[in-house]
Amino acid sequence: MSEEITPEIFNHLVTLAALELDEKQAAYLRRELNQQLKAIHELEAIPLDADLKVTTHGVSYNLANSPALREDTWLPHPNPDEILAQAPQVDEQYIIVPDIPHEKLD
Amino acid sequence: MELCDRSAHKLLELLRSKQVSAEEIVRSSLQRIAAVDGRPGSLESGEETEKDRQSVHAFISVAAEQALDQAKSIDRQLAKGEPVGLLAGIPFSAKDVFCVKDTYTTAASKILANFKAPYTSTAVERLQKQGAIMLGKVNLDEFTYGSSNESTAFQPCPRNPWDTSRVPGGSSGGSTASVAAGEVPLSLGTDTAGSIRQPAAFCGVVGVKPTYGRVSRYGIIAFASSLDCPGPIARDITDAALMLQAIAGADPRDSTAANVPVPDYLATLEQGVKGKRIGLSPDYFQISYMDAESGEIHQKPVQEDIRAAVYHAAEVLQRMGAEIIEDVPMPNTRYGIPAFFVISRVEAASNLHRYDGVKYGYRTPSAEDDLRVMYRKTRNEAFGLQPKLRILMGMYVSAAQYSEQYYNRALKVRALLRRDFDQIFDPLGKYRLDALLTPTTPTTAFPIGAIYGDSVLMQYADQFTVTANHAGIPGISLPGGIAADGLPVGVQLLGPDYSEHTLLQMGRSLEIGTQDEAWRSQRPALTLRW
């Protein structure tokens, strides 16, 4: 298969990923993505049984090894200010961000 | 031999018999760090100097005062005859993806350079509860994305203590370098495709990737959540067992931490390998890799002295009573890397979406009046190339039109990789193995700059380790010899789910069986200079 991530697809991915790249970065990243895609295409040649199920964890979880779920109980954090102190910009207990653009949906 | 060159279990003996104090142990480690580590990694690294090229650079931050205070406190407890923990007075380092309350936890990325963790990860908390003393946080590939440590945003990057022109491996390269250089006897690492075992092999130390869920992931900055495993790095098997004993077990704060009792790893360590069935597979003695230009798949045997070291380990284990079964088929091994390219990227992209300059970490200093522009500038300025590469690939292969072709297919290939192991470990099957013995890596540590930038070739360094992450099974890398290039060779033992006690037992037997061999007395060049 000769599928390739074209400059158009690449630019679309960059927008979706909320990135902004200079030309040098873009050239390197698109080249590497296409090299990785060649390696990934090896998967297409593997015969898979129709009833083969996906494995989301190598070790399967069952009653014997799954921990019981915690009670869904609200617990106060001992010091919320400590968490808020990590935010780049706050006003009292509000996190401040630039304007959120609004678009009219069709 | 300096105190800092001793194993943790030897130091515990000396400490409990009051021949040394915890403070002396910590001071010895701090002196070694001062002597060999060079300047710590930082975002403003400037020009690399000749001294930089001859230093280890394992640490990003060192908490000397806190460590000394903790050591003095343990000494007071011991003097009063009070009970102390399993690892009381033993220094350790933690890969800088483990959150530790009130310390910077950077993931070696600019985007988290100013992040102070508001809580402590379970693995670190459990080590500290047992009295272990954290000396500092160690460097890694940015967000763990790499196999050489060259991608860290905190330069100079770590170097291999055996030869500082070589990489220490990755992504837990700072951890393995700090242990190999005698800076700490123990370190916490994480393993997503081999990130504990590959650098352990490159640096001549022991690295344990536990069964997925054996050790809690709570408080660890995630790479690929279905593959990440925290685990011990140490200079010998006994120390690795001690460390695993402290950190393993269920955790109500991680729903994937398995609710399976933790055995007494030390109690079974010396029980030998008599009657154990250990396999060798031809599929682990050659690498299949893609030619970047042609896209063709090439096969190449592993470095000859690595093959020889694994066969020698098999002979030693056989001499000690194990049964060696050759020609064990593992037909899907070669697909581990292509499947990893898909699964890990999808999970990494998902995990990296949270870094947006809003809640914590870096935000672009440029004044923006549009949230979307702020996101883009922040992420562009603070993510390095490797995180960007993983975000883009993860988004591509999980897009609605491609997810069946790539992501779902990769998850099915993961099922095949798991099946390979299920078949050889099946107690009623043809092979009935207790473990598979393999090389950890296809080569010894490669020169700095030799591969970095080629993201495909770099990933193939993990070909023999990534299969355990897909399958979730445990694996151990331990020293198996010194190659002709003077660099350590790692041998790997892979076993069924939750069989860490068996693998440690086999590893210990291999240590005993090779203890008189000449290579065992060789030390990293850098520690000899000191």
User: Does residue B110 carry a catalytic annotation?
Assistant: no
Write out the residue range of the structural domain in which residue A7 sits.
1-46
* Residue at A14 is within a domain: yes
Q: Do B497 and A59 touch (CB under 8 A)?
A: yes
Neighbours of A69 (CB within 10 A): 8
B454 to chain A nearest CA, in Å? 7
Detail the DSSP E strand segments found in B225-333. 229-234, 277-279, 286-290, 297-301, 323-325
> How far, in Å, CA of B190 to CA of B176, rounded?
11
Report whether B37 contacts B110 (CB < 8 A).
no
Count residue pairs from A and B with Cβ separation < 8 A. 199
Q: What residues of chain B lie within 8 A of the CB of A41, using their CB?
A: 295, 338
Residue B406 per-residue DSSP state: I
Q: Do A82 and B118 touch (CB under 8 A)?
A: yes
DSSP B287: E
Q: Phi/psi at B339 (nearest 5 deg)?
A: -65, -35
Position A102 in a domain: no
A55: its two tokens: 């494995």
Q: Are A16 and B395 an interchain contact pair (Cβ–Cβ within 8 Å)?
A: yes
B95 is catalytic: yes
Q: Alpha-carbon distance B288 to B442, whole Å?
A: 10
In a domain, A98, yes or no: no
Q: What is the mean pLDDT of each run of 10 residues along chain B (530 residues)?
A: 96 97 98 97 94 97 98 97 97 98 96 96 98 98 97 98 97 98 98 98 98 98 95 98 98 94 97 98 91 79 96 98 98 95 96 96 91 96 97 94 90 96 98 98 96 88 96 98 98 98 98 98 82
Q: Is residue A54 part of a domain?
A: no
Nearest-10 Cα torsion for B289, B293, B294, B296: 0
Q: How far is B7 from chain A (nearest CA, A)?
A: 33
Rounded to the nearest angstrom, the minimum Cα separation between B421 and chain A is: 10
How far separated are the first and last CA of chain B, in Å rounded? Answer: 11
**How far is CA B12 from each of CA A83, B73, B132, rounded to the nearest angstrom?**
38, 16, 11
Phi and psi at A40, nearest 5°, equal: -65, -30
**Residue A1 confidence (pLDDT) above 70:** no
Evaluate whether residue A88 is within a structural domain.
no
pLDDT of residue A3: 78
Long-range contacts of B37-43 (CB under 8 A, 24+ apart): B37/B181, B37/B183, B38/B156, B39/B156, B40/B154, B41/B108, B41/B139, B41/B152, B41/B154, B41/B155, B41/B156, B41/B157, B41/B158, B42/B154, B42/B155, B43/B110, B43/B113, B43/B153, B43/B154
The answer on pLDDT for A2 being more than 70 is no
On whether residue A11 sits in a domain, the answer given is: yes
Give the residue from chain B lying closest to A59, CA to CA: B472
A21 located within any domain: yes
> Which pLDDT value is given to residue B303?
94
- Taking the domains of chain B in order of start, what are their residue ranges? 337-406
In a domain, A25, yes or no: yes
Structural domain count of chain A: 1
What's the confidence (pLDDT) of residue B529? 64
* Residue A33: per-residue pLDDT: 96
Alpha-carbon span A84 to A77, nearest angstrom: 12
Q: Which of B118, B338, B383 sits opposite A42 (nearest CB)?
A: B338
pLDDT, average across residues A49-78: 88
